[in-house]
Chains A and B, each alone.
Chain A
Amino acid sequence: MGALPAVDTVTTNDVAPVIRVDHVSRWFGSVVAVSDVTFDVKPGITGLLGPNGAGKTTLLRMMTGLTGTSDGTVTVFEEPVRRNPPLYGRMGVMSEHETVYGFMKGRDFVRMMGRLRGVTDEAAVDKAINFVDLADAAHRPMGTYSRGMRQRMRLAGTLVHDPEILILDEPLNGADPRQRVHFQTLLRQLAAEGRTIVLSSHILEEVEQLADTVLLIVNGKLAASGDFRAIRVALDERPYHVLVVSDSPRELAAAVVKLESVDAVNVDPDGTLVVLSRNVRDLQIELPRLAQSAAISLRRVEPLDDSLESVFGYLVER
């Protein structure tokens, strides 16, 4: 499997790694969920990016000690994380599961999470709840909360003991746009305080907006790692197939193929054009102009391979 070039920022700067994943594999029967993955995580926000079923959750669960490895080791602060309860006091983990104790009031939940982690100070409970902006709802049973509120109260429970490491599995799942922005602001604030945050997502833009470093997981393997900009550059160089339906396909094809942004044009028997371009931004500008000048009516323009899977597939094949 290929990897993106010159994106080894996770391992070369001077800061010591907080989490070290060393040749880790995990299989369930004959199914290999994670295969020989190695990387280090340092303070800041690290995004674990990959399509659904790529092995992100299994990897995160091994990083928290909830699941053992079949091969390789995971260490946190240079200690094995599996079966190491004292270490858990330095970590805050929010799983992908949104289930809460529905009968329990939000405040009681955060208090319980704190007590289990040695926090008896009510001020810490208040601070965590205020941080997620849920003071008004803290006295209501969590069963009455919206999905986004449950996520935020779970984050409060994760933060109440002021952990040095936060591991969050799909934390923005189910959040509406406003909650999403709020959550992102909170995470940036926590990272600015020097914490190590690892979060997973299958949404490219989500990770791009948040993470300093990206680990791209595909089919249980580490496809790429490093600064998001390096991955974005690679994505921008990727050839796109764009479907174009017009009232004069052959005339349009003859004109379009002359554009610098276009690599090739294929005319299907039904008159549909499939344009191959490595510069979609320019194509977006040039195509309407061209159609207008040639008096051709564009009926449909649609990217054919904009799914996340195709993006990941491209990166893996490189």
Chain B
Amino acid sequence: MLPIFSLTLRQLSGKWRLTIMSVLALLPVAIAVLMVSFDGAPTVEEFEVAVLSSILAGAISPLVVLAIASAAFANEIEDKTLANLTLAPVPRWQIVLPKLLAAICVSGPFIAISAFLTGYFAYSADIRAALAVTGSAIIGVALYSSAFVWLGLKTTRAIGYGLLYIVLWEGFFSSFVMGVRLFSVRYYSIAWMHGFDERRFAGFDDFSFGLAVVASVVVFGGFSLLSIRRLRHMDVP
């Protein structure tokens, strides 16, 4: 699996892609700094809804992951090099898993640093809260990655469909339709954050930590299995 992991790391680490990711990842930090610098700083709950949920978990994280994870297979399909990998005598999961891990490894650090700094500045240098924000962001990256890796295998229009999903589902519907939150990576991520630091985030859960753990496992495992199945059945260009 190491050759595919190394190959994908290199493929996903293009200069322009990393530059755009860096700019995107800085946004929540800048917003957090601005919000706490002025009078009338938001409460913990207000900050969570406005920045951690809406901006970090609901917009920046999925956008960064979409740009990375959807390319894990899409680049190979577009360049017609995927056959180099699929004609190897290895089970298909040994192709999907390193690609998925590489996507997480490329986008994860950007989001993790962004989340840590955002939490650190917002919560007055409370390391535990900052780590809770970071941990939940990394889980969000893993979940989004599993979905967008599959999307990149499924369609050549992964970026378009991914943007629609981010704007409509994670952005619009999950904000205004309560039931949608049960199927929203953004809210799973927030529930993980609550679970990591109950002291700081007690009292405003949309659903329980346990449910978030189960849902996260289902989403990650489900999309990974879908990717493996897709790779097994597709006509490789």
Q: Chain A interface (Cβ within 8 Å of chain B)?
A: 61, 64-68, 83, 85-89, 91, 93, 95, 97, 99-101, 103-104, 112-113, 115-118, 157
Q: Given contacts A66-B86, A93-B83, A112-B7, could you give 18 more A-B pairs where the C-beta distance is less than 8 Å? A: A66-B83, A66-B87, A66-B235, A66-B236, A67-B236, A68-B235, A85-B89, A88-B87, A95-B80, A100-B81, A101-B7, A101-B81, A103-B10, A116-B3, A116-B85, A116-B90, A118-B89, A157-B84
Partner of B88, one of A61, A64, A88: A88
The answer for the CA separation of A52 and B224 in the assembled complex, in Å, is 39
B4 close to A (CB within 8 Å): yes
A143 CA / B51 CA spacing, docked (Å):
43
A116 touches B88 (CB 8 A): yes
- Chain B proximity of A76: nearest CB distance (Å): 12
B91 touches A85 (CB 8 A): yes
**Closest residue on chain A to residue B78 by CB atoms:** A99
**Closest A residue by C-beta to B86:** A66
Contact of A67 among B4, B7, B81, B235 (CB under 8 A): B235
Contact-residue bracket for chain B: 20 to 34
Which residues of chain B have C-beta atoms less than 8 A from A65's C-beta?
Answer: 87
Q: Contact between B80 and A85 (Cβ–Cβ < 8 Å)?
A: no
CB atoms of B84 and A117 under 8 A apart: no
| A-chain residues with CB within 8 Å of residue B83 when the two chains form the complex | 64, 66, 93, 95
Q: How far is the CA of A118 from the CA of B1 in the complex (A)?
A: 11
* B154 in contact (CB, < 8 A): no
Question: Smallest CB-CB separation from B235: which chain A residue?
Answer: A67
Nearest Cβ on chain A to B7's Cβ, whole angstroms: 6
B3 x A115 contact (CB < 8 A): yes
Q: In the complex the two chains form, what is the Cα distance from A86 to B75 in whole Å?
A: 25
Q: Which residues of B contact A93 (CB under 8 A)?
A: 83, 87
- Cβ-defined contact, B3 with A91, below 8 A: no
Report how far A87 CA is from B89 CA in the complex, Å: 7
- By a CB distance below 8 angstroms, the chain A residues around B81 are 97, 99-101
B92 interface residue (CB < 8 Å to A): yes
Q: With the chains together, A112 CA to B10 CA distance in Å?
A: 13
Given the interface contacts A83-B232, A99-B80, A100-B81, does A64 sit within 8 Å of B10 by beta carbon? no
Q: Is B79 an interface residue (CB 8 A)?
A: yes
Collect the chain B residues with CB atoms within 8 Å of residue A99's CB: 79-81
Min CB–CB distance B186 → chain A (angstroms): 35
Q: In the complex the two chains form, what is the Cα distance from A83 to B92 in whole Å?
A: 9
Chain A residues with CB below 8 A from B11, complex form: 101
